[in-house]
Amino acid sequence: MPRNPQNAPADADVETPAEGDVEEVGPEATADDAKKTAKDKTPARGDLPAGYVTPVGLAKELGKRGLQANKDGVVLTEVKPQMVYSYMKNASEKDPFPIEKVTDSIGVERQALKLDAGIAWWERKNERAAARKASAAEKVKAAEDKKAKAAEAAAATEAEATEEGGATEAE
């Protein structure tokens, strides 16, 4: 197991390079060389066709338009791209996310969607979520009403039993 020379005892044998063993390095690359290589590189992604955006672009537009709210109903000005990708992956089969494969300006195939189709899908998603929330609230209210009626019925039955002078279960 090799030893770390910094932690080696003072009497340990440590190799040091001889004067002739030193390797000389040529002049380092200048900033001009770095600029030349950056200009020679082609971009990894080109421009999308008109009207198309990436999922990240959709997230930015949703934030600008205020189409996303948190659980407390506060409108978010920033929508995380992860949220859009999650909805892409988990969209229902009845209303799939409108993602397409398009070829950009340099010939690279990319995932993109039409902005208006993405916004329309997101608004439908918000409507579905609001409908689910309203339905859940109705179910809770119905359950509470049923419980209240059962309690009233039990109280009425008990009151009738005491008025008649009959024996109740407690007696």
- Look at residue 91 and tell me if it is in a domain: yes
- Look at residue 123 and tell me if it is in a domain: yes
Task: Please name the residue that has the structure tokens 């309690």.
Answer: 151
* pTM, two decimal places: 0.59
Q: How far apart are CA 33 and CA 20, in angstroms?
A: 31
Per-residue pLDDT of the chain (171 residues; tens, 9 = 90+): 555 656 656 555 666 666 666 566 655 656 565 566 656 677 788 889 999 999 999 999 999 998 888 888 888 889 999 999 999 999 989 999 999 999 988 888 999 999 999 999 999 999 998 899 899 989 999 999 999 888 888 888 877 777 666 555 555
CB < 8 Å & 24+ apart, contacts of 134-143: none
3-state secondary structure of 110: strand
- Look at residue 111 and tell me if it is in a domain: yes
- Look at residue 116 and tell me if it is in a domain: yes
Domain of residue 126, residue span: 52-132
Give the pLDDT confidence score for residue 58 in this predicted structure: 95
Enumerate residues 6+ apart whose C-beta is below 8 A from 158: 168
Q: What is the largest CA-CA distance in the chain?
A: 118
Domain count, the chain: 1
- Look at residue 28 and tell me if it is in a domain: no
Give the pLDDT confidence score for residue 57 in this predicted structure: 95
Question: Are 112 and 48 contacting, i.e. CB atoms less than 8 angstroms apart?
Answer: yes
- Look at residue 46 and tell me if it is in a domain: no
The angle, 0 to 180 degrees and rounded to 10, between the axes of the packed helices 55-65 and 115-163 is 60
Residue 119, amino acid: I
Task: Please name the residue that has the structure tokens 């005491």.
Answer: 162
3-state secondary structure of 12: coil
Give the pLDDT confidence score for residue 84 in this predicted structure: 95
